[in-house]
Structure 1
Amino acid sequence: MAESGRSPLADYHASQGATLGAYHGAIVPARFTDPVGEHLAVRAASGLFDFSFRAQFALAGEDRVRFLHRIISNDVKSLAPGQGTYATLLTAQGHILADFHVFSADDRFILATDGDLCEKAMKGLGRYIIADRVKIEPLELFAIAFQGPESRPLVSKTLHVDIPELPEYGHFATNYAGFAVRVVRRSSTGEEGYEVWVSAKGLMGVWGAACGQAPTYGTLACGFEALESLRIEAGIPRYGAELDEETMIHEAGLLNAVSFTKGCYVGQEIVERTRARGHANWRLVGLIVESPAPPRTTGYGPPPAPGEKLLADGKEVGEVTSACFSPTLAKTIALAYVRREAAEPGTKLSLASGAAASVTALPFYSKTPTNQK
């Protein structure tokens, strides 16, 4: 992510008719054409996203494995170069300070997170360095994301390289047009997905090459408005919406971010206590808002606003965190935190606005594991 918070391609995108907006502290495309059409292209074929709102930093040094393993919530000792995982940095009280993906390279870990979380994550880890021989430093990398069932051949044709069968978070280094790049498999949408990381100088070349292949694969350039509706359908929590410093692992259902066998880490006692109890008092759930299906392009009024309260028999039991019209389901859907007693699928709730809603299990749609990040 650029220090300015502006995508290196922002001016180019604007010249091509994109509408720009702020997302995780960066100026990136909000939409190129119709967000619903962009959304459906990802589900049917593939979409191309400027992920300059993401940021990467390196953790290097001979103590890096031991250090990171004892601080974050997931297992990194078992990661071989070319493998990765999803993890969180917790407070001693078990609340989520930051979430990130950890990728093991030959001589370092590369951690990737949203740009507005990067400094917080670096400082949060850095405060635990005492005599450890580790070094944390930001990386000047930018990401282009390829999402959808045609994303793998699209990446292959774009970079002129065979993409091996990678597990989720698998990655490898290669070159394109004289620039070092890293290919990472990661779904942000519930579809098969990849990211290509490259320097600012190499970003336009990768974007242009991908756009040149777009007609072959039914690919559309997509903005963060489509990314949000895809994310919500896939039930993926986002920091700043479903996740913050008050959220706990079990509430958000982020069990894929935790190793229950690795031993001690910051916040582990609280995570284990919640697991032993068998439940959290709050749970992230899906909501189907029972309102007429909107027309394809114009929508049917606004979806529930983040923070809108949820009621059961007149009693407040939760609130909405994210909501959208789902092009895939042709329904208005939402993510929400509700009290445990209101979290069972099929539970009927009402919004403060008066609209009816029913609780449903997450994800609404996915070809990848639930809550995949």
Structure 2
Amino acid sequence: MTEDLTRSPLADYHISHGATLGEYHGAVVPARFTNPAQEHQAVRTASGLFDFSFRAKFVLTGRDSAKFLHRIVSNDVKSLAPGQGVYATLLNAQGQILADLRIYAAHDRLLVDTDADLRTKAMSILRRYIIGDQVQIEPVDTCALAFEGPQAAGLLEKTLHVDLPPLKEFDHFATNFGGFPVRVVRVNNTGEEGYELWVGPKGMMGVWGAACGQAPSYGMLPCGTEALESLRIEAGIPRYGSELGEDTLPLEANLMNALSFTKGCYIGQEIVERARSRGHVNWKLAGVVIESPQVPVPGEKLIVDGKEVGEITSACASPTLQKTIALAYVRREHLDPGTRFQTSSGAAVEITSLPFLRRQSAPAAN
């Protein structure tokens, strides 16, 4: 139920400027432009620009669209005013995550953003629940660029020649650039202040070029997905296919910002509420510091007294912390910060709280 591989509209341009392309969540996008560690540090200290063609959108229209989506997904959709958004999960009846979604309310529609390799799956699941509802669900050909870092807001304002209004996480507004309609979305992808700029494929080149023209003033580097991975691991941000999947409950992945406990029934709600009222889940996403320069592979086990108590999902050599770090699911009995164990390859490991890196300016991610 995955889509054909999407190729960034800027792929050939990126190659001509020295980028190395790679596959990421169903799309061919830049993996790196120069040195991923330098790209990472640019985002932490100044700003970075990402080609987010691995994100895909679809739209819900019709008079029942908000009421329909509200009763299916895990967060409150009906209360969204135009210009607001929310993070949510699409669950099965067992409360496990089929897809994670960012949902944005516009005046006459709901815009849904997810990974490119999840769009067809999510649309198909939602369509199965349409029974007499006045709802249409269709894909839209909209791409995104992400502006990330302490100077991201200034870079975006200079690129678009607009003054950004005060925006909370997932707030958004429509404007235009070079004759093309665009949408600005406040969203955190790295643990830093972040914005996505949605634009059609034909408008991407103009926005990218304008932003790169401002690079010296804002310390900006074009960045690839290798830097994005180390940034989001430092920030403790889970991703579908790594930390999230059809065997994961939202509470196991710490997705409190994807859940409403007051909205009433939705698919999987009974299981989520049962886990919350019980006060714990058996496994939970945690941060671990590995006392070895060797970065462990996803799936490597965590061992205490010869017993498996956890499994690594994502890992990197942290450019900011100068340590090897990882996200891992760990048994609840071993979640206290400072708890020590080993990887299956023998490296010493210590539990730490998430995120690894805290930024006052960055809101909760996803």
Q: Which residue of 1 aligns with 2:307?
A: 315
The residue type paired with residue 372 of structure 1 is A
Distance in 2 between the 1:32 and 1:111 partners?
Answer: 29
> Counterpart in 2 of 1:45?
46
Mark the CA change 1:85 to 1:203 in structure 2 (over 3 Å): closer, same or farther: same
Cα distance per residue 1:26-83 (max 9 Å; x no partner)? 1100000000000000000000000000001101110011111111000011110000
Please state how far the C-alpha of 1:165 moved relative to its aligned partner: 1.2
TM-score normalised according to structure 1 size? 0.96
The alignment covers a number of residue pairs equal to 363
Residue in 2 that maps onto 1:120: 121
- Does structure 1 residue 372 correspond to structure 2 residue 347? no
Structure 1: state its 5+ residue gaps.
292-299
Aligned-partner Cα distance in 2 for 1:370–1:215? 27
Secondary structure, counterpart of 2:162 in structure 1: coil
Q: Structure 1 residues 370 and 174 mapped into 2: Cα distance closer, same or farther (>3 Å)?
A: closer
Task: Provide the rounded CA distance (Å) in 2 between the counterparts of 1:182 and 1:159.
Answer: 11
- Whole-Å Cα distance in 1 between the matches of residues 212 and 351 of structure 2? 40
The 2-side partners of 1:358 and 1:370 are apart by 26
The reply to whether residue 334 of structure 1 matches residue 326 of structure 2 is yes
Whole-angstrom CA distance in 2 between matches of 1:94 and 1:177? 45
Candidates 328, 333, 342, aligned match of 1:350: 342
Partner of 2:167: 166
> Could you tell me how far apart the structure 1 residues matched to 2:266 and 2:365 are?
22
The 3 A distance-change label for structure 1 pair 196 and 3 is: farther
Q: Assess if the C-alpha contact under 8 Å between 2:188 and 2:363 holds in 1.
A: no
In 1, the alpha carbon distance for the partners of 2:146 and 2:127 equals 29
Q: Secondary structure at the match of 2:251?
A: helix
For the residue of structure 2 that corresponds to 1:250, the secondary structure is: coil
Contact map agreement 1:310 1:320 (CA 8 A) in 2 = yes
Counterpart Cα distance in 2 of 1:88 and 1:249: 8
Q: Distance in 1 between matches of 2:327 and 2:5?
A: 31
The one-letter amino acid of 1:157's match is: K
C-alpha distance 370-81 of structure 1, shift in aligned 2 (>3 A): closer
2:352 paired residue among 360, 363, 371: 360
Deviation of 1:357 after TM superposition, in Å, equals: 0.5
Partner of 1:35: 36
After superposition, the Cα gap between the structure-2 partners of 1:4 and 1:268, relative to the gap in structure 1 and judged at 3 Å, is closer
Cα distance, 1:273–1:370 mapped onto 2, change above 3 Å: farther
Moved over 3 A (4+): 368-371
TM-fit CA distance, 1:371: 5.5
1:144-194 deviation digits (Å, cap 9, x = unpaired): 000001000111110111111100101000010000000001010000000
Q: State the identity as a percent.
A: 66
Q: CA RMSD in A?
A: 1.1
Query: TM-score w.r.t. structure 2 length?
Result: 0.97
Output the CA distance in 1 between the equivalents of 2:348 and 2:331: 17
Q: State the SS of the aligned residue for 1:249.
A: coil
